[in-house]
Amino acid sequence: MSRPFTALFVALVLATAACSTSGGSATLRHERTGTIDWSPCSHVECGSLSVPLDYEHPNGAHITLALARLPATGKKIGVLFTNPGGPGASGVEFLRTAPSVFTDKVLESFDIVSWDPRGVGASAPVDCIERLDAFYAVDRDPRTAAAVAQNVAASRALIAACQKNSGAVLPYLSTENSARDMDAIRAAIGEAKVSYLGYSYGTLLGALYADRFPTHIRAMVLDGPVDPARSYADSTLDQAKSFEHDLDAFFAYCRANSACAFARGNDPAVAYDDLAATITQEPIPGTVAGERRILGPGELDIGVASALYYGADGYGTLSSALAKAAGGDGSRMLALSDAYTGRETGGKYSNETAVLYATGCIDAPAPTTVAAVKRLADSAAVDAPRFGATTVWLGLPCTLWPVKAVGKVAPIHAAGAPPVIVVGALYDPATPYTWAQALASELDTAHLVTSGGASHTSYRRDNPCIDQNVDGYLLRLEVPASDPHCS
């Protein structure tokens, strides 16, 4: 997720996008470090830690965080914390894929530790609506009063369930509190300093941690960064335009490449707009895992955005899904949407959507009225006709959220922290490159490393230059001499 909250589009578990490597296997064993007991559990070691629900009242109610660790496979030089993004992504599940996410040398040299942040997965999970098909099926480009009312009703239903099932924890799910949890984990494992690699939303968590606990960091890398000083409206517009730009790049690819399965011999942009209009008027059927369903405009938008996260590597998947949809079969586009939203067969969803809103809505203030949301959506649609309105209307629950935002839109400086490596991709659709530039200028000790790619995040994306810069800093504390551009 971006900050301020803008859309579902930035919440993505990055493990499935990482490159494959032949990293060695860690030896899993029962062990105690500090006050944490680690026991083998499905490719990693698992532990838990009790932390205050409200840090202003540390002797009050507590919650339990679910932790995971992958011990160093060779000579250990320290502990590396990591967060995959979201908010809503499970750090425990992410760590199970570590051999495909980190280089062999990083796996050899660090105990890698991650966790389900508060509200996520097994860490006092937020419980809202288990079946979200109706929420995601809503047309997020409402052109009539009735369509706007449908958006409001879907958001209110989600919020009512969150209040009913998790009202006691909703006020305490800020990223600020997660940063304090992170330091509690550091202290519990007995480390004076830790290294950190955060992706997407995890860059906000890392920047806040560096600001609050600068002396507790050995090294920090922030990949696919969020700009905490960007206003809600500006962040929304930035992101919508970035996705629009990447979709235009996909259209250009289809015009020039016969391998594109969508709209062969025709203008793909026109074909796309015709398909979207058709689905808005009459959703098309599809079958996923034997389940007969309907592809509506909401799932179409999310499915397309899901493929764009992978840059050019996702063009084949996107063109195939669009071609099938144009032929009357929504199956592949529904599968893309499902993978993104955490939908399981039968209509049950993970709690990633609940956490996305529960954390995002209190991290920074949103527009205060539905009318203000409509004005912002109309403005966004001018510069991003295909993604502008959708991006804005997906944030509607934050306008109606029952807990007042506690975070502020302001630069983070992290005075006193060691060098922080900020990695940005020129054509990242979800966290635009301008955000990487901004964060690098705001942090007191940042060094910007630039990828020429179009995927969301850059480390382990088939760019040896990026990997060398990141690994050089994490392993040997080698800070880039200048801000390198890795084409």
Residues tagged active-site: 200, 428, 456
Q: 289-298: long-range contacts (C-beta < 8 A, 24 or more apart)? A: 289/345, 290/345, 291/345, 291/346, 293/330, 293/334, 294/137, 294/330, 295/325, 295/330, 295/333, 295/334, 296/137, 296/139, 297/139, 297/140, 297/141, 298/136, 298/137, 298/138, 298/139, 298/140
Distances (CA, A) of 170 to 161, 187, 359, 362, 406: 12, 25, 8, 9, 12
Q: 436-441: long-range contacts (C-beta < 8 A, 24 or more apart)? A: 436/224, 436/225, 438/227, 438/229, 438/230, 439/203, 439/207, 439/222, 439/225, 439/226, 439/227, 439/228, 439/412, 440/225, 440/483
Residue ranges of the alpha helices (H) in 145-216?
Answer: 145-166, 175-188, 201-212
Other residues' Cβ atoms within 10 Å of the Cβ of residue 408: 11
Q: How far apart are CA 191 and CA 68, in angstroms?
A: 16
Q: CA dihedral in degrees (453, 459, 462, 463; nearest 10)?
A: 70
Reduced to 3 states, what is the DSSP secondary structure of residue 205? helix
